[in-house]
């Protein structure tokens, strides 16, 4: 018996791949101690050339993934981010550490003044809950990720 093949548009296919990628990494006990592993995961999960998305990678004390979640979605050049919601998601995922990340559909990986402000607010909110913010990554495309920690903006 033949099954009927469904034709998917490119955005639909990308959405399915990203969803399955996040599910896969959430099911693993992968240690995220190497920056390259973190970049690879975030790039696969957040590459979206059409709109800005903001996500959190939740980690335990041994830097194993306890979860990954896209929390906020915006437009082509902005997304509203609420530190309270990030803190709540960290607690739900039993995280002792977190890495926040978002994409820049416009192509730049340079953090904006707003990106730096949000990072400070999230870091402060998480610190009160004894959750360590390890980094804020900004991606524009696979292979093009910047780390605010490596830039000395942490």
Q: What is the mean pLDDT of residues 116-120?
A: 95
Q: What is the pLDDT of residue 1?
A: 53
Q: Is the pTM value of this prediction over 0.85?
A: no
Q: How far apart are CA 152 and CA 73, in angstroms?
A: 26
Whether 20 shows a pLDDT value over 70: the answer reads: no
Q: What is the pLDDT of residue 86?
A: 97
Domain spans of the chain, in order of start:
29-147
Q: How far apart are CA 33 and CA 134, in angstroms?
A: 10
Q: What is the pLDDT of residue 32?
A: 60
Mean pLDDT of the chain: 82
Q: What is the pLDDT of residue 4?
A: 59
Question: What DSSP character marks residue 63?
Answer: S
Q: What is the pLDDT of residue 77?
A: 73
Whether 2 shows a pLDDT value over 60: the answer reads: no
Whether 90 shows a pLDDT value over 70: the answer reads: yes
Per DSSP, the chain holds a count of helices (H) and strands (E) of 4, 5
Q: What is the pLDDT of residue 127?
A: 97
Q: What is the pLDDT of residue 30?
A: 55
Q: How far apart are CA 38 and CA 96, in angstroms?
A: 16
Kindly report the CATH number that applies to the domain delimited by 29-147. Answer: 3.40.140.10
- 38-74 pLDDT, tens digit each: 888 788 887 777 888 899 999 999 888 888 899 988 7
């Amino acid at each position: 018996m033949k099954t009927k093949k469904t034709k998917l548009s490119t955005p639909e296919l990308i959405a399915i791949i990203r969803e399955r990628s996040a599910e896969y990494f959430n099911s693993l006990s992968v240690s995220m101690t190497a920056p390259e592993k973190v970049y690879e995961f975030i790039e696969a999960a957040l590459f979206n050339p059409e709109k800005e998305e903001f996500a959190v990678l939740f980690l335990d004390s041994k830097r194993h993934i306890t979860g990954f979640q896209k929390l906020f979605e915006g437009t082509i050049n902005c997304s509203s981010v609420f530190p309270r919601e990030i803190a709540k998601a960290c607690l739900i995922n039993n995280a002792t550490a977190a890495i926040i990340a978002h994409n820049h559909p416009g192509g730049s990986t340079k953090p904006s003044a707003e990106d730096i402000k949000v990072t400070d607010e999230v870091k402060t909110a998480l610190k009160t809950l004894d959750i360590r913010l390890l980094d804020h990554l900004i991606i524009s495309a696979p292979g093009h990720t910047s780390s605010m920690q490596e830039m000395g903006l942490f």
